Structure 1
Amino acid sequence: MTTRLALHPMSPAEAADLVAGRPAPDALWAPGYPDEGDRFGAGRYVRTCETVGDPRPFGAFEIRRREDGQAIGGMGFHGAPDEEGQVTIGYSVVPAARGNGYASEALRALLEFARAQGATSVKGDANLDNTGSHRVMTAAGMRLVGVDDQLHHYLVDWTDEES
């Protein structure tokens, strides 16, 4: 939860409904939600649940504006932390809601959540030309750690910090 946003943890059934384009009974979807990225992320969560079990609390979340309750995007983890405690994140905000700082605000909250749940580091990536996403991850406190022929790679790491 942030000042302007609520991160609604999705159940596997809610994620499956999102993939199918069916809103949950309590869900209000902003125009353009869910987009292809939201469906992909929810689908990844559903597949993870089916193959290795529900990774919650490292699951999928809907980004909802507190002022009107509308879902404006999605974010979540690609699964439970690995053996070193690292998780990978992904996120998406509908075009109509972009440019308002929602993605950075939601990502900061998700990073805080991951740390509170015991993750030692969080990684994310974005296509080379996705400068908006580069700015989001940087604004949320992640640092650029590498670039390859397709992606910019970002990381926040708490293993060297004192508790």
Structure 2
Amino acid sequence: MGLYCFLRAASLLPVTELRTPRLRLHPIDTAEGERIVGRRAGAGDDWAEDFPFDGDVLGVRGFLAAAAAYGDRRPFGHYRITRTADGKAIGGIGFKGRSENGRIEVGYGLAPSARGNGYAAEALAALLDLATAHGLSRVVAETTGDNVASRRTLERAGFRHTGSNDDLHQYEVLLGAPS
């Protein structure tokens, strides 16, 4: 970690965009969220052919519900993952719910055409850096037992398996102090 750039706005919102070597993570607002849920690209949207997929829609619905209940939670909202090589939106990643006692949950997903290239791990590392920079101490995630790729992504990012409940497997990573 530590390879990532946090671009700060002059506004009250602390983070506008995260960048990694191959990706841009852009925090979505409710208008963009509604376009993603409706699967209707706007004039400025450049989406991969298979974006958004069902997982994106589900994740963004959760973001919209949280935004309606709690308002703008940036930087702990939902991010559109854009591949810098071609400028296409290929997935989403974000924090689920609100942080409690230094703990927050993360979820992510990629369009099928973008899978298998390490993009999810790269985006996840950027979110872990962001969580660390904002003083969080633990990030948790869960995935289904049959989602081997997601389980490997979590393990590569430093998460450890902490248990399972039916078909859901829980993971967590403990974060260090910001440098």
C-alpha separation in 2, matches of 1:96 and 1:80 = 31
Which position in structure 1 is the counterpart of 2:130? 113
Which position in structure 2 is the counterpart of 1:46? 64
Please show how residues 118-133 of structure 1 align to structure 2 within 5 Å: 118-133=135-150
Aligned CA RMSD, in angstroms, stands at 1.3
SS class of match (1:100): coil
Please show how residues 2-13 of structure 1 align to structure 2 within 5 Å: 2-13=20-31
Runs of 4+ in structure 1 displaced over 3 angstroms? none
Q: Does 1:89 align with 2:76?
A: no
1:30 to 33, 48, 57: 48
Q: 1:121 to 1:24 in 2, by over 3 A?
A: farther
Structure 2 runs not aligned, ≥5 long: 1-18
Which position in structure 2 is the counterpart of 1:155? 172
The alpha carbon displacement at 1:151 in A equals 1.1
User: Between the two proteins, what is the percent identity of the paired residues?
Assistant: 42
Normalised TM-score (structure 2):
0.85
The number of aligned residues is 160
Q: Does 1:71 align with 2:89?
A: yes
SS class of match (1:138): helix
Structure 1 runs not aligned, ≥5 long: none
Q: 1:24 to 1:116 in 2, by over 3 A?
A: farther
SS class of match (2:97): coil
Q: Does 1:100 align with 2:117?
A: yes
The alpha carbon displacement at 1:157 in A equals 1.3
SS class of match (1:71): strand
